[in-house]
Amino acid sequence: MLRPSFCVFTGSTSVYPQNDGSTVAEDSPTGGTPTGDVLLEAERVALEAGGGVVRLGGIYGPGRTRFIEAARTGAPTSGDPDGFINFIHRDDAAAALYHAGRLNLGGVWNAVDDRPVRRAELVEAIRNGSPLPDVAAVCDRRIPVTGKRVANTKLRATGWTPRYPTVIDALNAGSV
């Protein structure tokens, strides 16, 4: 039987219900949605067992490009063009989890890019001059906005640094 001395639970920034463009950190209010409440219960179990929780933003990178491919082809993407998206590159997520485990970081930690991007900004960066429909036509306003900016300040203070500060940096580096 595997008995690790320290366990890191992979959580999600979806536990934060804020939808007003505010910045959220590990001590911000959470819960209130079915998915968020289930994740918070799992986090509680991990923390009570002496482990840590790393809340990941939306993972992107090789093999994880649904939003990016939709924007490239002009297919509808979810949410308001002015809404924020909190992402983390696949490799940065792995590095954050390794970092938390190596340092036995108990408690809760957000692992996201350094700066969330607005959907419209990301769609424009992806299109990079491609003759596709107007951004407002590509973003589907019927799907709720994820209007929060998740901060990674606490995790960065422990020495973790994302290789890709933003999803746009990763796009420009050809790592998506």
Contact (Cβ atoms closer than 8 angstroms) between residue 115 and residue 166: yes
> What's the pLDDT score for residue 42?
97
Whole-number Å distance between alpha carbons of 116 and 88? 9
pLDDT tens, position by position, 72-91? 888 877 778 888 999 999 99
In a domain, 175, yes or no: no
Structure tokens at 99: 């970092």
Per DSSP, the three-state class of 59 is strand
Nearest to 85 by CA among 15, 167, 170, 175: 167
In the predicted model, residues of the chain with pLDDT beneath 70 are 1-4, 129-146
Q: Is 2 among the domain residues?
A: no
pLDDT of residue 150: 97
Q: Does the residue 176 lie in any domain?
A: no
Residue at 56 is within a domain: yes
Q: What pLDDT was estimated at residue 132?
A: 46
* CATH number, domain with residue 84: 3.40.50.720
* Domain housing 82: 8-170
Task: Give the model's pLDDT for residue 65.
Answer: 85
pLDDT at 128: 75
Number of compact structural domains in the chain: 1
**What is the overall mean pLDDT for the chain?**
88
